[in-house]
Amino acid sequence: MTRKQYFVIILILGSLATISPFSIDMYLPGFPAIAKDLGTTIAQVQLSLTAYLVGISVGQLLYGPLLDRFGRKNPLYVGLVIYIITSLACAYTDSVNSLILMRFLQAIGGCVGMVAAQALVRDIFPVNKTAQAFSLLTLVIAVSPMVAPTLGGYVTAAFGWHSVFIILAVITALIMLGVHFALPEGRPADPSISLKPKPVLKNFITVLKQEQFLLYALAGGIATAAPFAYIAGSSDVFMNIYHVSEQEYGWIFALLAFAMIGSTQLNHFILNRFKSEQVINFTLYYQVAVGLLLVVGTYYGWFGKIALIVLLFIFLTGQGLLNPNSTALSLAPFTKNTGSAAALLGSFRMAMGGLMSAMVSVLHTGTTLPMVSVMAACAVTGLVILLLGKRTIRFRASRRSVEEDTSVLVSTGQEH
C-alpha cells in the first residue's frame, strides 16, 4: 500500500465515521427556523434529535452481525442509500412528525458508517498499523463537532435549514462513490454466521452477566449522556434566550466541543500517573459540583452568557475524561465477546443520549434550567451508581471469598 493509498483509505473511513456526528450537529443552528417553518415548537424539533440518537442505538446492534454475514460493502451500500433517501425526505418534509420519523430512519442508515469504518480498519491494516489508523480516525471524528455546527450556521443563514439535509445527502453520495472505487473489500461474507435472535441474544446476556461491564456501562453511559442534553438544549438557550445568530452559535458550539476534544488528549498524560478508576471518581465528583452550581445559579439568575459558557466548558471537559476511561474499564474483563460488549456499550450510550435529549424537550420551559438540570442529573446519577455498584461488587466478592478485602474489578492500570 502506497502512502497516497493509505491516506485516501483513511479519508474515506473517516468520512464514513463522521456521517452521524455531522447529522447530529450540522442542523442544530436551524432549530428555531425549523420550528417556525413547520409551525411547531422547539421542544418538538428537539425530538427529531432524540429520534436520531435512538436510531443509532438500534442500528449499531443490527449492523454488527450483518457486516459479518454479508461482507462489508453490501450492507454499507444499503445503509448509505437509506441515509441519502431519508436526508432528502427531511429536507422536503412539511410536518415535524414526519421529520422525527425520517430522522430515525436516517440514523438507521447513517450509523452503518460508524460500524463499518471500525470493522474495515481491522480488515485492511496489519495489526501493527491499526492503532495508528484508529488514532487518525479519532482525530477526524473529533474535529466534526467543531466544524459541523459552524458550517451549519452559515448554511442555514444563507440558504435555509432545508439545504443542510440536501448537503448531507450529496456528501454521503460522494462518500459512497469513494467506497466503491477506492476502498478495499475487507473481510468477505461469512455464510456460517447466524442472524437468528437466539445466538445473538445469548452473547449479549453473557456480557451483561459480567459485573464490571454492567457497573461501568451504566455509570459511564448515564454520565456521558450529559452532552446530549447540552446538544438538545443549546440552540434554544443561546439563540432564543441570549439571541445569538446562527453563525455565532456555531462558534460557541465549536468552542465547547473543544472542551471535550482537548480533555480527551489530556487523558493520555493523566493516565501516566493515575489509574482509570481514579480519573473517573475525580471527574464525576467535580462534574456533580459544577452541575449543581449550574442549576442553582441558573435558578437564581446569577449567570450571563459568558459565565454560562465558561461553566459549560468546565463541565464538558469531564466528558473527554469519562468516556475513554469508562469504555476501557467496561471492556477490560473480556477476552471473548468483545464485539458484543462494544455493541451493547455503544447502543446503551446512544439510548441514554436519546433519553436525555428527550428529557430536555419534555421539561422545556423556555429557560436554561431544563438543559443544565438534566446535565447535572446525569453526573449525580452516574456517581451514585458508581459508588453503590463498587460497594455491591466488593460485598459479593467477599461473600464468594474470591478476594479478601479488594474489589474484583479488572483494572486498566496505566497502560494508556
Choice between 373 and 189, residue whose per-residue pLDDT is larger: 373
Residue 349: name the closest of 200, 219, 235, 202 by CA: 219
pLDDT band at 415 (very low <50, low <70, confident <90, very high): very low
Spell out the residues 6+ positions from residue 287 whose beta carbon is closer than 8 angstroms to its own: 223, 226, 315, 318, 322, 379
Q: How do residues 236-246 score in pLDDT, each as one tens digit?
A: 888 888 888 87
- Residue-level pLDDT at 171: 95
Q: Which range among 232-241, 260-269, 391-400, 407-416 shows the weakest confidence by mean pLDDT?
A: 407-416
pLDDT computed for residue 403 by the predictor: 47
Per-residue pLDDT averaged across 265-289, rounded?
A: 82
Residues 6-29 have a mean pLDDT of: 86
Give the pLDDT score at 132.
58
Q: Give the integer Cα–Cα distance in Å for 255 and 249.
A: 10
Q: What is the pLDDT, as a whole number, of residue 416?
A: 44
- Assess whether pLDDT exceeds 90 at residue 224: no
What is the C-alpha to C-alpha distance for residues 338 and 28, in angstroms, rounded to an integer?
34
Q: Is the pLDDT at 134 greater than 70, yes or no?
A: no
Higher-confidence residue of 186 and 384: namely 384
**Residue with grid cell 471492556, as numbered in its chain:** 331
CB 283 within 8 A of CB 322: yes
Q: How many CB atoms lie within 10 A of CB 323?
A: 19
Cα-based distances in Å from 134 to 119, 137, 146, 260, 407? 11, 5, 19, 18, 32
What's the chain's average pLDDT? 82
Which pLDDT score is estimated for 58? 85
Would you say residue 118 has pLDDT above 90? Answer: no
Least confident of 1-5, 123-127, 172-176, 201-205: 123-127
3-class SS string, 21-73 = HHHHHCCHHHHHHHHHHCCCCHHHHHHHHHHHHHHHHHHHHHHHHHHHHHCCH
Selected residue with higher pLDDT from 378 and 346 = 378
Cell 472542551, residue located:
259
Structural domains in the chain, sorted by start: 1-193 (1.20.1250.20), 196-411 (1.20.1250.20)
Choose between 358 and 315: higher pLDDT.
315
| Of 285, 290, 323, 324, residue with least CA distance to 307 | 290
Average pLDDT in the 207-216 region?
A: 82
Query: Side chain identity at 5, as an amino acid letter?
Result: Q
Candidates 339, 347, 334, 336; CA nearest to 68 is 339
In this predicted model, what pLDDT tens digit does every residue of 353-410 receive, in sequence order? 878 888 888 888 788 888 889 999 999 999 999 888 888 877 776 666 544 455 556 5
Residue 38 near residue 95, CB atoms below 8 Å: yes
What is the mean pLDDT of the segment spanning 312-339?
76
Whether the pLDDT of residue 204 is over 50: the answer is yes
Determine the Cα–Cα distance for residues 121 and 70; give it in Å rounded to an integer: 17
The Cα 62–Cα 56 span in angstroms is 10
75-79, 246-250, 297-301: which is most confident: 75-79
What is the mean predicted confidence (pLDDT) over 258-281? 77
What average pLDDT score do residues 258-282 get?
78
- At 305, the pLDDT band (50, 70, 90 cuts) reads confident
210 has pLDDT over 70: yes
Per-residue pLDDT band at 165 (split at 50, 70, 90)? very high
Residue 90 has pLDDT above 90, yes or no: yes
Confidence of residue 70 (pLDDT cuts 50, 70, 90): confident
pLDDT at position 407: 53
Task: Report the Cα 24 to chain-centroid distance in Å.
Answer: 9
Of residues 134 and 145, more confidence is placed in 145
The label of the residue with cell 422536503 reads 92
Grade residue 133 by pLDDT with cuts at 50, 70 and 90: low
